[in-house]
Chain A
Amino acid sequence: MIEGAKWRRWVFFYMPLGSFIFWLLFPFYWMLVTSVRPDRELYRPWMAPNYTPFWTAHPTLEHITDLLTGTLFVRWMVNTLFIACVSTLISLFCGVLAGYALSRLKFRFAGALGAGIFITYLVPQTLLFIPLADIIRKFQLGDTPWALILTYPTFLIPFCTWLLMGYFKAIPRELEECARIDGATRWKAMLYIIMPIAVPGILSAGIFAFTLSWNEYIYALVFLSSAEQKTVSVGVTSELVRGDVFYWGELMAGALLGSIPIAVIYSFFVEHYVAGLTGSVKG
C-alpha cells in the first residue's frame, strides 16, 4: 500500500485503479445493458433528456430470443465450438510432441527448428490469407469447417510448442533417465512419466489455444461464405446487419452470448490463463 496520508492513497491509487477498471470493463457492461434494453429505448437520440442511459427500467429478453430463434446464431456457436475444439486438439497433439522433442532431445537441428517455429509464430495471418485462400480452394476445402481446422494450427502450434517447451524444461532429466533404466523405452518414458507431470502446462496451452481459435477472424471471414458455415465472430458481424441497418439489440446480444463460453472457461482457469500468457512472454 502507499504509505502516507489518506488523500495520497486516493489520488495515486484508488482513483487511477478505479478509472482503469471502469474503462476496461464498461464496454461489457454496455453490451449487457444494450442486449436487454427494449428497442424503443435503444433508438432514442442521444441528446434527449430524461433518459436513463446506464440502466434500463424495462429489461426485455426479446433481443436474445430473436437472436436464438430468428438467426443462425446457435448454428454459429456450434460451428465455432467444433472448430475450436478440433483445432485445439490437433495443436496440442503436435505442440506436445514438438515441445518435448525440442526441449529434451539432443539432435543436430534442434536450435534451428526451435527458431523456425518461433519465426512462424511471428508471421501474421494477414500476410498469408490471400495465397491461403487460393490453396484452400485448390484443396476444395473452401466453405467447410476443415478450412479453418487445418489452418488454425498454423498459429496455435507454435504457441503451444513454445509454452510447453518451458514446462518440459523444468522437469528434471533424471526422471526420464530413471524410467529408462527401470525398463521403459524413450517413448514410454515420455508417455508415462513426462506427460502426466506436464499436465498443468498442457491445460494452459489448451485453454489458450481454444481462446485463440475462438477469437480468429480473418481466415474465417475469407474462407467461409455461406451463412450456415460461419463462426460466431463472422456471423454476428455480417449477418446481423441488414442493408445499412444495424440491429443493435441483437448484435449486442450476439456479442454477449458469443463471449460467454470464453468468459466461463476463463473464470474457472484464471491461473492457467495468466500462466499461459506469462509463460509465452518469459519463454
Chain B
Amino acid sequence: MARVLIRNLNKKYDEVHAVKGVNLEIRDREFVVLVGPSGCGKTTTLRMVAGLESITSGDILIGETVVNNLPPMDRDIAMVFQNYALYPHMSVRDNMAFGLKMRKFARPEIDRRVRDAADILGIQNLLQRKPRQLSGGQRQRVALGRAIVRNPQVFLFDEPLSNLDATLRVQMRVELKKLHDRLGTTAIYVTHDQVEAMTLGDRVVVMRDGLVQQVGEPLDLYNEPANRFVAGFIGSPGMNFASIRVADEGGALHAVGDGIRLKLPPEVAVRLKAYTGRDVTLGVRPEDLRVASGEAPNGLDLDAVVEVIERLGSQILLDVKVGGGSMVAAVEPTVRAKVREQLRLALNPDRLHFFDSQTEAAI
C-alpha cells in the first residue's frame, strides 16, 4: 500500500511558522494536488515528504513506515523539479539510469527499464543527447522518465509545468493525466496554478499561510468552497465579492449593499437567518451572472454599468460597476453590450455564496 499519511506536520524556520499542523491522507494510487499562493507552505510540505527539509514536529508515513528520520534515498520516492534538475554532464540515458546505478541494479535491468520508460514517454531517440540539446518539453519528459524508471511508491511534483510556455503547459497537463492513469502510482503535486489543480487532481488541497483551507474533489471546491479564500482562489475569473447587510424587511430577508438590493429566496434565507441585521460577504461567480434583458425584475438582480468589454471569443467578460464596487460577468458571446450602457444582471438563486465577515467561513 503506497499511501502517504501526514500527521500534525509543523515546520518552523527560526521565527517563521511555515507549516502549521497539516493533516492529510493521500490514498494509494491517488493524485493529490497541493495548491495555494506563494509562501503558503505547499512546497515546504512536499519537501518534508521528500526528506529535503527537516520536520519540526509531526509525522510522515509512507506506506506503513514512519519516514521522519529517513534520508531521501531510503524513502522510495521520486521527484520532478520545476527546473527539471537534469544532470548536465550526463546523457539522457545516464540521467535516467543514475538512480538505478546508485541502488546497484544489474546492467541489463537498467537498460530494460530505461528503454521501457523512454517508450512510454516517446523519447527513445533522445537517449544519447545531453540536456542542453533538448527543448523545454523534452527536458520535462526526461525528468519524468527519470522518475518512472525507479518505480517508486510515490511521485512528488514541484511545479513541474511552471517553466513551460502556455501551449506546452496545456499539452503536458494532458500527458501527465494520461501517464497517471496508465501507471497508477500515488502522486503529490504542488502548483500555484488552480487550473492545473482542478484538471489534474483526484483531490485538491488548498493551502494558505501554512494552513490547509480545504480538501476535496475539484468540483466540490468549486461548488462548495469552505471559506472566502478558497472561493476566490478556485475559478477564473475569480468570484465577485460584495459586502452586504442581511436586513429583515417586511418579514422577508433581503441582502442590502452598495447598489445591491436582493430579495433572498427561502432556501437561502434559512441559512442566513442567524445573521439578520449583520454584515456578511456575498460571493457570486462571473459565470453565474446573466444579462437579464427584456425580463421583468424578480428581486434577484443587480443594476450595473458596463465599464470594459473583453471579448474572448468563447465568452465575453463584462467589467461592470455595481453601486460603488466592481464586478465581472462572464456571458455568452452573443450578448450585445456597449461601454457605459446600463444593464440588469440576473443571479442564479442556487449559485449564491455567503461568507461570515469575520471568520470568512462559508455560511
Contacts and interface: CB of A to CB of B under 8 A. Distances in A.
A193 B90 CA distance: 9
The prevalent SS among residues of B at the interface is: loop
A8 B77 CA distance: 68
Interface stretch (A157-165, A173-181, A202-210, A219-227): A173-181
B150 interface: yes
A175 B71 contact: no
Given A180-B73, A181-B50, A181-B77, A172 B85 contact: yes
Interface in B29-72: 50-52, 71-72
Interface string B88-118: 1100000000111011000000000000000
Interface size on B, as a range, is 20 to 34
B92 to A, nearest CB: 14
Contacts of A193: 87
B50 A188 contact: no
A177 B89 contact: no
A175 B103 contact: no
Contacts of A45: none
A182 B102 CA distance: 7
Given A196-B89, A197-B89, A183 B73 contact: yes
B71 A185 contact: yes
A184 interface: yes
What's the dominant secondary structure at chain A's contact region? helix
B79 interface: yes
A175 B85 contact: yes
Contacts of B89: 196-197
Interface string A52-67: 0000000000000000
B79 to A, nearest CB: 5
A174 B77 CA distance: 15
Instruction: Name the residue in B75, B88, B103 with the highest tally of chain A Cβ atoms < 10 Å from its Cβ.
Output: B88
Given A172-B83, A178-B79, A196-B89, A188 B102 contact: yes
B304 interface: no
Nearest to B101: A183
29 contacts: A174-B82, A174-B83, A174-B85, A175-B87, A177-B79, A178-B79, A178-B81, A178-B87, A178-B146, A179-B87, A180-B51, A180-B52, A181-B52, A181-B79, A182-B73, A182-B98, A182-B102, A183-B99, A183-B100, A183-B150, A184-B73, A184-B102, A185-B73, A188-B102, A192-B98, A193-B87, A197-B87, A197-B88, A197-B89
Interface of A: 172, 174-175, 177-185, 188, 192-193, 196-197
Given A177-B50, A178-B146, 16 more contacts: A174-B82, A174-B83, A175-B87, A177-B79, A178-B79, A178-B81, A179-B87, A180-B51, A181-B52, A181-B72, A181-B77, A182-B73, A183-B150, A188-B102, A197-B88, A197-B89
Interface of B: 50-52, 71-73, 75, 77-79, 81-83, 85, 87-89, 98-100, 102-103, 146, 150
